[in-house]
């Protein structure tokens, strides 16, 4: 049973940059929309124009222990535009189902020491100020609460001291982590640190 992890943040807030310290030989990257990483380090296993089919096929091979889907909301957006000419509301159910099924695939089909990071944009409610994972509108939100599919949800944050991941909710966002996984509300914006903490918490000893 693999572990899906949701990383939320605005565009340019450091989601993709957080990959920079991951081991290139041990990390696979699925580029859904962008084709280049925002740093010089090269990752040999990078799949451009990633689709549900490409991601599921790759994950099914179990060759690595950590993967990143960048940016996962475009799986929803691209399917929405592909089906833009289809009338009716059933397509929204299908779009929600396909995204949920990918998360379930990670949960069910991946080995227990495989972690898949979903880097995802956010949107803010204009009335309440509450932050949530970005989808393609209220109709899809009625079918799927994206954050509810994950046990670990982090959010990028920037202040005068630097770039961070928030590990505990402020009450106005869907951030959540298992009890005692992270002591600090803010940790460095670094997926390598996050990956280590998750593996330590669940007792995943990685064999070289």
Q: Where are the domains of the chain?
A: 3-156+187-201
Q: Which of the four CATH numbers 1.25.40.10, 3.40.50.300, 3.40.50.2300, 3.40.720.10 does domain 3-156+187-201 have?
A: 3.40.50.300
Global pTM? 0.94
Smallest CA-to-CA distance from 130 within 147, 144, 117, 143 is with: 147
Residue 180: CB atoms within 10 A of its CB come to: 7
What is d(CA 152, CA 129) in angstroms, rounded to the nearest whole number?
22
What is d(CA 182, CA 82) in angstroms, rounded to the nearest whole number?
40
In order along its 208 residues, the chain shows pLDDT tens digits of: 899 999 999 988 889 999 999 999 999 999 999 888 889 899 999 999 999 999 999 999 889 999 999 989 999 999 999 988 888 888 888 998 999 999 999 999 999 999 999 999 999 888 888 999 999 877 778 888 899 999 999 999 999 899 999 999 999 999 999 999 999 999 999 999 999 999 999 998 766 5
Pairing of strands 27-31, 66-70: parallel
Q: Are 18 and 190 in contact (CB under 8 A)?
A: yes
């Amino acid at each position: 049973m693999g572990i899906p992890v949701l990383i939320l943040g605005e565009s340019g807030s450091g989601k993709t940059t957080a990959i920079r310290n991951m081991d290139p030989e041990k990390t696979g990257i699925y580029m859904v929309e962008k084709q280049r990483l925002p740093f010089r380090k090269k990752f040999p296993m990078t799949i451009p124009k990633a689709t549900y089919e490409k991601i599921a096929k790759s994950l099914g091979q179990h060759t690595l222990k950590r993967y990143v889907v960048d940016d996962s909301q475009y799986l929803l957006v691209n399917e929405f535009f592909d089906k833009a000419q289809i009338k009716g509301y059933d397509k929204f159910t299908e779009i929600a189902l396909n995204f949920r099924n990918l998360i379930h695939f990670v949960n069910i089909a991946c080995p227990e020491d495989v972690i898949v990071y979903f880097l995802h944009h956010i949107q803010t409610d204009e009335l309440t100020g509450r932050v949530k994972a970005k989808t393609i509108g209220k109709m899809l939100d009625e079918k799927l609460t994206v954050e509810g599919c994950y046990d670990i949800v982090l959010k990028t944050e920037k202040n005068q001291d630097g770039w961070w991941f928030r590990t505990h909710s402020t009450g106005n966002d869907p951030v959540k982590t298992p009890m005692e996984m992270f002591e600090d509300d803010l940790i460095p914006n670094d997926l390598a640190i996050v990956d280590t903490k998750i593996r330590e918490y669940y007792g995943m000893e990685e064999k070289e």
